[in-house]
Amino acid sequence: MSPAPRTRFRCEPPGSLAVSAGAVVLRELGDEGPRWVLAQGERIVALLDEGLTPAQISKLGDLREQARIHALLSGLAALGRLDLDFAWRGRELATLRRVTPALVLTIASPPAEAVVLSRLSHLRSEQHGEERTAILEHALSPCRVVLHAPELGALLVTLAAPTEPRRLSSAAPWASAFVGLLLAAGFVVAAGSEESDPALLPWEFHDALMHGRQLRTRPEERGGTYRLRARLPSPPMLRAPSGGATVALAKPPLENTGPGIFTV
């Protein structure tokens, strides 16, 4: 029997959590930010740097302590600081970045009925240091999936048409579990569900993408990114004179203006 795929939560960036006065806090905010009181705070902080699995959560204290751990994970997810790694046999296949609070509590198992890749999902590439990776995104979701294995691309092509998840396991033992993650994150939906949803049906992909970008809370998508600062110089604020012929524009007779805009 093949081993089950492994999922683990990580706080990003590593080392950003600390324990202060018996509570887990974010280092940059200290006691001024959110606080999560945990009996095993030091150990949980260390595990979130390395990767905290659902199996480990079930062994960390009683049900109350486990509920507090889930509250910590949900809080980090709400702040956009929680990632989820998906691995099989020690090989990292994908990483879900900026996991949503709902996904923390509902890592769905794949349904028996057919599913399909959402028409609002899109695949692109992105540069990370010296490595270029494939990124799966959804127009209305703050979560993104970094694909580390080329086999995942073939799986996405299969999911472009309605597919029963249980049939995928024969080709890849981890495929069914990965579809469950995509389903929980909204990248995969039940076949026919988007066509019958009156709230989604009118949306074109590009319209939903622009609308979703305006609503997202990703800090890197607000304001200037300056990603080319070290490669291209900033253009001048004023264009240099061309040296060619100039045309004088007529000046309107301002003394003959009518009543002001607020004059009634």
CATH code (residue 150): 3.90.930
pLDDT of residue 30: 86
Query: Do 81 and 113 fall into the same domain?
Result: no
Query: Do 116 and 212 fall into the same domain?
Result: yes
Over the chain (264 residues), the average pLDDT of each successive run of 10 is: 81 92 90 90 93 90 90 90 92 89 66 88 86 90 90 93 84 87 90 89 88 63 70 85 83 75 70
Give the DSSP per-residue string, the chain: -PPPPEEEEEESSTT-EEEETTEEEETTTGGGS--EE-TTHHHHHHHHHH-B-HHHHTTSSSHHHHHHHHHHHHHHHHTT-EEEEEEETTEEEEEEES--HHHHH--PPPPSS-EEE-TTEEEEEEEETTEEEEEEEETT-S-EEEE-STHHHHHHHHHTS-B-GGGGTTT-TTHHHHHHHHHHHTSEEETTTTTT-TTTTT--HHHHHHHHHHH---GGGSS---TTTTTSPPPPSSPPP--S---PPPPP-GGG--S-TT--
pTM for this entry: 0.78
pLDDT of residue 256: 67
Number of structural domains, the chain?
A: 2
The answer to whether residue 223 sits within a structural domain is no
pLDDT of residue 222: 58
pLDDT of residue 49: 92
The answer to whether residue 12 sits within a structural domain is yes
pLDDT of residue 105: 59
pLDDT of residue 47: 94
The answer to whether residue 227 sits within a structural domain is no
Domain boundary among 61, 89, 117: 89
pLDDT of residue 85: 93
Domain with 13, as residue range(s), is 1-89
pLDDT of residue 92: 93
The answer to whether residue 98 sits within a structural domain is no
